[in-house]
Amino acid sequence: MNLRFKELGAAVVMSAILAGCSSSGSRSGGEIPSFVTTPPSESQIEDSVRRQVTLMLEAFTPIAGQALPNKSVLEAYEFRDFEPIWIHDKKLDLSIYKLISTLETAQSHGLNPIHYHIDTLKEYLDLPSPTSQQLAELDVIATVAMSSFAHDLSIGRYEPQLIDPNWQLDAPSKDWKNLLFIDSPSDMVNYLPLLAPRQPEYQVLQRWLVYYQELAQKEGDIRVDVGVPLTEGDEGPRVAQLRARLVQLGDIRFSTRKVNEDYFGAELKAALIRFQQRHHLTADGAAGSQTIQMLNVPLEERAKQISYNLERWRWLPSEMEENRIWVDLTDYTAHIFLNGQNESMKVVIGKPERRTNVFYGRMTYMVANPTWRVPHRIAQENLLPKLQQDPNYLGKRGFKVFSSWSIGAKELDPTTIDWKNIDPDRLSYRFEQAPDEGNALGAYKFMFPNKFDIYLHDTPSKHLFREADRAFSSGCIRLEKPAHFADLIAGNSSKQKDALLKARQSRETTVISLEESLPVYLVYFTVVPNANGMPEFRNDVYDRDPLMEEAMGYIPFKPSESL
């Protein structure tokens, strides 16, 4: 079953379980429930809360990749000795209405409001004379809804590894739990929006999400008819469609200056180039079939893509280290943040069948003139077939072969081994390539120990950096300017700089330990803000967005006064 429908079904069941409220009687929004009969006492409400917390939290069970904060809700009530949070002196705190308004903004963060039980809360608030049990249920539901939204807004709704096994970067913070221990419910509600990621990229994308949602609802898509390519100097209704679509998408700023809408002039070409650049198309200023196809992607589809990337931002730490290496996989770029400076260089990443994992590590050393110990999988899939074709392959490429992977394994003569009769699954030899110009690692490798055996390194295949899409490696990351990268890592450390200089002169394998470990992030985004604050839509190299869609689902935007 599709996860989206599982979640919707769970929400319906939840409403049924919690609907201990009578459907008789309703009131206009904003009023506190009145009691026709004698109102429940505070002790009755507290006893009901105590009974309902465990009972109702058991009904909120996680589905697939969800991460629900049930335990934290229980801890918050235990801390208060099960006193209600939203009811004081037998009166409902008015901040519960602001809570509902805040929960209704969930879609502006790419989250589904149905997860936060808004309709159920409203049903309870419509009760003319609720019992102590119903008040307790209302109190617990409001707290569960608030804590779920706080959790999801702060660190993401889903467990990333359960969506994508190759995604191993998850740095959850527990700061959101502090919300549940604030004394005043109004202070809780006021604190809730502050839990969203503070990174500028998140905030920019969130604004664009709201823009696309509202635009899809109010205007709908302006389409450009398919036809012959449109270029500068052309005229006609398709040019007018092109102009209108670029205005709608923000590539042309609205102007009161009168223009000939049917004419393809220089300013329209410049706007189209901006559009092509932020969609990773050939920026030639001509609206060919590929550009028109990209122009006609529905606004709602773009909103979905943005929502997936907002969730990815929530999986990252709330604060980033000033000094760090940030490898942007979908942009094939490494960003080096060191000592207040920022430099970038091209990288080559893993091919789709050998994906580079998304994870966090700490670089602790680099190796100049490294020996390449061939990973077992690469030996099976790449090296063995070449040896079966040419038994002299190892000698030509500077490889040595050892009897096993154990320390002290005996070096063997590769020409004495019958490679053609070796099953890849039974290959047990260890292969090493000596440091030279043909070494697959080049002159440098940069190590941040991890279970994936992924690292940054040099490469003799420099021509690959001329390609626009650079997913060619077996999983490790190849650097465009490794020598310069090494100089940046060595920084102002005389010890590291001296060791690096000696290694370059001697051409001997040299391990250079870093005086301070350096954070390394391998990240994956399919939508990012570009330098002009516009959304840049990238190629989904590893087809990770469909996994997000299956997990998150998507509900068409419904306008809310709170947005």
Rg of the chain in Å (alpha carbons): 30
What is residue 153's predicted lDDT score, i.e. its pLDDT? Answer: 95
Count the alpha carbons within 13 Å of 541 in the hemisphere toward its beta carbon.
25
Domain boundaries for CATH 1.10.101.10 within the chain: 203-301+530-552
pLDDT for position 253? 84
Least confident range of 63-77, 427-441, 488-502? 63-77
Q: Provide the pLDDT for residue 154.
A: 94
Give the pLDDT score at 56: 63
- Rounded CA-CA distance 401/386 in Å is 14
Of the pLDDT bands very low, low, confident and very high (cuts 50, 70, 90), residue 17 is: very low
Q: How far, in Å, CA of 470 to CA of 339, rounded? A: 29
For strands 430-433 and 399-402, give the pairing. Answer: antiparallel
Per DSSP, the three-state class of 434 is: coil
The beta-strand segments (E) located in 255-392 are 324-328, 333-338, 341-350, 359-368, 372-373
Let me know if 476 is a catalytic residue: yes
Who wins on pLDDT, 394 or 348? 348
What's the pLDDT at 5? 35
Q: Where are the beta strands (DSSP E) in 369-449?
A: 372-373, 399-402, 411-412, 430-433, 444-447
Higher pLDDT, residue 277 or 552: 277
Q: What is the pLDDT of residue 174?
A: 83
If we measure between CA atoms, which residue out of 77, 73, 76, 81 comes closest to residue 57? 73
Instruction: Give the confidence band of 29 by pLDDT, cuts at 50, 70, 90.
Output: very low
Percent of the chain whose predicted confidence (pLDDT) is above 90: 65
Token duo for residue 343: 């430099």
Query: Distances in Å between the alpha carbon of 41 and those of 136, 394, 542?
Result: 12, 85, 59
* Separation in Å, CA 284 to CA 228, 229, 270, 281, 467: 15, 11, 9, 9, 17
d(CA 136, CA 133): 5
For 173, half-sphere exposure in the C-beta direction (CA atoms, 13 angstrom radius) is 20
DSSP letter for 26, please: -
The total number of residues written for the chain in this structure? 563
- Residue 257 has φ and ψ, to the nearest 5°, of -70, 135
C-alpha separations of 349 from 355, 471, 529 in Å: 8, 5, 22
Residues 78-96: pLDDT tens digits? 898 889 999 887 788 999 9
- Burial bucket for residue 225 (CB in 10 Å: 0-12, 13-18, 19+): exposed
Most confident of the ranges 60-69, 345-354, 422-431: 345-354
212 and 310 Cβ atoms separated by less than 8 Å:
no
Rounded Cα distance between 169 and 461, Å, is 29
Let me know: does 350 contact 473? Beta carbons within 8 Å: yes
- pTM for the whole thing? 0.85
Cβ proximity of 192 and 150 under 8 Å: yes
Euclidean distance between CA atoms 375 and 378, whole angstroms: 5
How distant is the alpha carbon of residue 554 from its chain centre? 16
Distance, in Å, from the CA atom of 301 to the CA atom of 549, rounded to the nearest integer, reads: 11
Q: Give the Cα separation of 327 and 335 in Å (integer).
A: 6
Which is catalytic among the residues 21, 115, 151, 476?
476
Q: Which two tokens stand for residue 149?
A: 């939204």
DSSP conformation class of 167: B
Q: What is the Cα–Cα distance from 461 to 33, expressed in whole angstroms?
A: 73
Average pLDDT over every residue of 6-22: 42
- b/e string for 53-76 if b means 16 or more Cβ within 10 A? beebbeebeeeebbbbbbebbeeb
* Per-residue confidence (pLDDT) for residue 46, from 0 to 100: 61
Q: Rounded to whole angstroms, how far apart are CA atoms 171 and 295? A: 36
Q: Cβ(122)–Cβ(26) under 8 Å?
A: no
Residues 440 and 458: their CA atoms lie apart, in Å, by: 8
Q: What's residue 510's pLDDT? A: 96
Cross-strand pairs, 344 = 335
Backbone angles phi, psi at 334, to 5 degrees: -105, 130
Contact criterion met (CB below 8 Å) for 63 and 552: no
Confidence at residue 44, expressed as pLDDT on a 0 to 100 scale: 61
pLDDT on residue 51: 67
Catalytic residue among 88, 279, 457, 463: 457
User: Between 1.20.120.10, 1.10.101.10, 3.40.50.170, 3.40.50.2000, what CATH number should domain 203-301+530-552 receive?
Assistant: 1.10.101.10
Residue with tokens 């110009």: 437
What is the pLDDT, as a whole number, of residue 70?
66
- In this structure, which amino acid lies at residue 144? V
Angstrom distance (rounded) from CA 275 to CA 76:
49
